[in-house]
Amino acid sequence: MDTKTTYINTVKGKVLLFGGVYSNLQALEALIKVAEKENIAPENCFCTGDIVGYCAQPEETVQAFINWGAHSIIGNVEQQLRNREVNCGCDFTEGSRCDVFSKAWYPFAQNQLSEASINWMQTLPNYISFTYANKKIFMVHGSYHYISEFIFKSTPWKNKISSFNETNCDVIVAGHSGLPFTDEKDSLLWLNPGVIGMPANNAKPHVWYAILNDTNGFSYSFHTLSYNYKKANTLMTEQQLPPAYAQTLLTGFWDNMEILPQEERLWKGRDLFKIINH
């Protein structure tokens, strides 16, 4: 399938950035309330993809997202679902714990989703581009060249620069890796707002998002989101989804760190605000 980019002209006012809803309806509902409290209209809310994932309410989550009216690019999970593929396309190492777990949650999501939800996924672009506070913003899921590429703060800049070169942008907003971070070099900014469907391995059940602000030029801030994680955990348990992921909702710790570089493994249980702003 050919790639598609949605071009939006200039966006003004606060912008809400987030990713990885992961079928976590309780987290999405809490985020929508944040947007309303912050007076951020749905057209100023942007998701980096993977609306569907590990948790127990894929259909309800997709329909709630559609009804909200926020923007989203396609994540690898949506790409696989709309193409009727048999796996999530997350690029987990074959035989790893994440790979084994995906063989439970991905078929569950496939079975739960309606044709209407799958058809909606067909409309999602691969990328979104817009101008904000005189900066060109470009949204990708993993990277520009590979939807499932894991890009972290510690990822060498040579792996990031190709996405900037291809898009001629100032800011890349990306998802997929599950951790919030920024990396800046030569006036170029890679920004991952984090995900709202699962905690960030920092010993807290809250999840993460970011807000752009143009009041005094271009600025951004990271925020934690509290939601009914106990209900999300219970629903996962009732549906016999991977217990390790359900437990993560309670503890804030990942079951494993297979996908993480060594530097990010050292973030486990730490105050991410200090790391993000370092």
Assess contact for 150 and 140: CB atoms under 8 A.
no
Listed in sequence order, the residues at least 6 apart from 118 whose beta carbon sits closer than 8 Å to its beta carbon are 81, 82
pLDDT grade, residue 104 (50/70/90)?
confident
| Over residues 187-193, mean pLDDT | 98
3-state secondary structure of 134: coil
- Phi, psi angle pair for 207, to nearest 5°: -125, -175
**Cα distances (Å, whole numbers) of residue 57 to 111, 140, 154, 213:** 11, 25, 33, 32
List the beta bridge partners of residue 11.
none
Assess contact for 225 and 196: CB atoms under 8 A.
yes
As a whole number of angstroms, the distance between CA 63 and CA 57 comes to: 10
Model pTM score: 0.97
List the beta bridge partners of residue 171.
137, 189
**Cα distances (Å, whole numbers) of residue 7 to 125, 136, 138:** 10, 11, 9
Residue labelled with tokens 């909200």: 68
Tell me: the pLDDT tens digits for 61-78? 999 999 999 999 999 999
As a whole number of angstroms, the distance between CA 235 and CA 58 comes to: 12
Assess contact for 244 and 96: CB atoms under 8 A.
no
pLDDT grade, residue 112 (50/70/90)?
very high
| Over residues 137-160, mean pLDDT | 97
Residue 1 has pLDDT above 60, yes or no: no
Selection from 208, 207, 167 nearest residue 189 by Cα: 167
As a whole number of angstroms, the distance between CA 176 and CA 190 comes to: 13
Residue 278's pLDDT is 60
Residue 55 has pLDDT above 60, yes or no: yes
- 236 vs 278, more confident: 236
